[in-house]
Amino acid sequence: MAEDDVDFAVAAYRDEGEWQVVELKRSLGEDVEELSLALARFPSDVGVLGLVSMSDDFSVILRRSGTQVRAMLSDITAVTDWPLAVGVADLLDLPNPDDEDEPQAGGDLELLSDLGMPAMDLGVLCDDDDLYPDDILRDVADRLGFGDAFEAVIG
């Protein structure tokens, strides 16, 4: 995997009630452990979100709150091709997909429910074949209230 496979990697966190969005080095989008460590440096009253779009193929949402890490992978079949997806699957103890498995979200779809995005809504986004990973993450950012800041960072 090359750094140019990462469409973008950002951190979103609330500081004193206001959402902040920061662009991360793209290389952080290649390894779930490095991404998690990078998120630990940001303050937040609700945990820090790491949002990664990978090669227009899949997205990852990581939520770190202290030492607790929760994650969601938009397409579990990405495990067959992408080290980042493997790292998320390992973190969550997800089974490896079979060649016949259909694309589907995996992991903790509830990770944003307390912020206003129920698991069902996140699952519907991930299941929409017409949406690219960046579209899914834009929608998440809009629904959570940091869409403008997100768009300003990723362009």
Task: Kindly report, residue by residue over 28-44, the tens digit of the pLDDT.
Answer: 988 999 999 999 999 88
Q: What residues contact residue 132 under an 8 Å CB cut-off, 6+ apart?
A: 53, 56
Report how many domains make up the chain.
1
93: left (phi over 0), alpha (psi -120 to 50) or beta: left
8 A C-beta contact, residue 117 and residue 12: no
Instruction: Give residue 1's pLDDT band: very low, low, confident or very high (50, 70, 90).
Output: very low
Q: Which two tokens mark 75?
A: 């397409």
For residue 106, the model assigns a pLDDT of 92
Identity of the residue numbered 2 = A
Q: Where does residue 67 rank: exposed (0-12), middle (13-18), buried (19+ CB within 10 A)?
A: exposed
**pLDDT greater than 60 at residue 8:** yes
Asked if pLDDT for residue 13 goes beyond 90, the answer is yes
Give, as one character, the DSSP assignment of residue 67: T
- The region, left, alpha or beta by phi > 0 then psi within -120 to 50, assigned to residue 50 is beta
Whether residue 80 has pLDDT greater than 90: no
- Give the phi and the psi of residue 70 in degrees, each rounded to 5: -120, 150
Phi-psi region of 42 (alpha: psi -120 to 50; beta: other; left: phi over 0): beta
The one-letter code for the residue type at 154 is I
**Sequential DSSP letters for 85-117:** HHHHHHHHTPPPPPTTPPP--EE-TTTTGGGT-
Res 115 pLDDT > 80? yes
Per-residue pLDDT at 2 = 53
Q: Which residue has the higher pLDDT, 46 or 112?
A: 112
Residue 3: its pLDDT value, please?
58
Instruction: Give the pLDDT confidence of 93-113 residue by residue, as tens digits.
Output: 988 877 777 888 999 999 999
The mean pLDDT value for 108-135 works out to 95
Residues spanned by the domain of 8 = 3-154
pTM of the model: 0.93
Task: Name the percent of the chain lying above pLDDT 70.
Answer: 98
